[in-house]
Amino acid sequence: MEDVVEQQSQFVGEEGESDIITEEAAFVREEPHQDGNAPPKPDAEVEVLHEKVTKQIIKEGHGEKPSKYSTCFVHYRAWTESTQHKFEDTWQEQRPIELVLGKEKKEMEGLRIGISNMKSGERALLHVGWELCYGKEGSFSFPNVPPMADILYEVELIGFDETNQGKQRSDMTVEERIGAADRRRMDGNALFKEEKLEDAMQQYEMAIAYMGDDFMFQLFGKYHDMALGVKNPCHLNMAACFIKLKQYEDAITQCNIVLAENANNVKALYRRGKARAELGQTEAAKEDLLKARKYAPNDKAVARELQLLAEHDKVVYQKQKEMYKGILGPRPEPKPERTNWLAFFWQWLISLFYKLFNRKTEKTD
């Protein structure tokens, strides 16, 4: 197979095919992230998909819906409806799942019905009756679901591969799987250049899904390096996009994944430093950027961010100086004492009487 790994540029400011640079772009994400602790409450109409499955759209998708045996890449959270207990969250785990429609586990039948009625990029709230999920007995291992529990799913269909477009991941060789992920990465870069941010991020997420932890743990030597050469640029591109979306915590999470593999990755240090600076974490940001400069001393983007931090510190110092000056005020100058002429007059008068009295006494003696 042709080597699909492309060399990443050493400098943050250089743009390569394997890693996009997004510092000059600006986007607005349609849907803010929810905290995920409780099920969302969308305003959309309830759509009945099945006797036991309903759907409410949270965010519209685009394109066609997946057909039977399509390989779908999905993020979801799941709650038991009666107790509102969240028992699964792939967003929190940073691991989208792969679901082949028509070949799912029995407990995912309701989820499959919902996903098969969604478009790429769509996010929805699904209500699934217990008959199409964990059944009469529930689950007492993982996940822990009580008997006869209706389930609420917040689902996002990242994207899908039609049956005729390729194999299941489990049926692919290592080279085929890395190659499929790399094609997703390149598709994401092309979409980004067209400013189709949501579509680009979906492609990066699907590429990352091909490079899951279970797969990476099996790789050694050149195959591990090849896989990282695809996976890490996707995380870095996601981080760059999140920064422009002002979702700085998400950007930091993506950078952390790369830095866990390579603590000296310049782009990851730079983007995490940039995100931390935006969150006001100036000391942590400075630490990241100084470390990035150590490994890329001539990089202009890193130098620019450090300069911005220095200017920010200077402005903060001046503001604090003015604030304390206003609180404490200038040191008061000693005021000259005013002469009290009335007191002076009484002192002179008493002194005069005292002298006259003394003279009279002396004459008497």
Is 60 exceeded by the pLDDT of residue 12? no
320-339 pLDDT, tens digit each: 666 666 565 565 565 555 55
Give the model's pLDDT for residue 252.
95
Give the model's pLDDT for residue 328.
58
Give the model's pLDDT for residue 2.
33
Is 50 exceeded by the pLDDT of residue 31? no
Give the model's pLDDT for residue 8.
43
In this structure, of 18-32, 125-139, 333-347, the range with the lowest mean pLDDT score is: 18-32
Give the model's pLDDT for residue 357.
67
Give the model's pLDDT for residue 3.
33
Residue 32: both structure tokens together: 């803010």
Give the model's pLDDT for residue 232.
93
- pTM of the entire structure? 0.67
In this structure, of 15-24, 178-187, 232-241, 344-353, the range with the lowest mean pLDDT score is: 15-24
Higher pLDDT, 266 or 141: 266
Q: What distance in Å separates the CA atoms of residue 335 and residue 37, rounded to the nearest whole number?
A: 65
Tell me the sheet residues that pair with 86. 79
299, 12 contact by CB (below 8 A)? yes
Higher pLDDT, 62 or 163: 62
Q: Which domains does the chain have, with CATH numbers?
A: 47-165 (3.10.50.40), 169-314 (1.25.40.10)
274-329 pLDDT, tens digit each: 999 999 999 999 999 999 999 999 999 999 999 998 888 777 666 666 666 656 55
> Which of 21-25, 195-199, 232-236 tops mean pLDDT?
232-236
269, 232 contact by CB (below 8 A)? no
The full length of the chain comes to 365
* CA 340 to chain CA centroid, nearest Å: 73
Span 144-150, mean pLDDT?
93
Instruction: Output phi, psi for 186, to 5 deg.
Output: -65, -35
* Confidence bin at 362 (pLDDT 50/70/90): low
* Confidence bin at 19 (pLDDT 50/70/90): low
* Confidence bin at 341 (pLDDT 50/70/90): low
Give the model's pLDDT for residue 14.
43
User: How does strand 123-128 pair with strand 71-80?
Assistant: unpaired
Instruction: Output phi, psi for 156, to 5 deg.
Output: -125, 125
Mean pLDDT estimate for the chain: 81
Could you tell me what percent of the chain has a pLDDT over 90?
41
Give the model's pLDDT for residue 326.
57
168-187 pLDDT, tens digit each: 677 778 888 888 889 889 98
Give the model's pLDDT for residue 20.
53
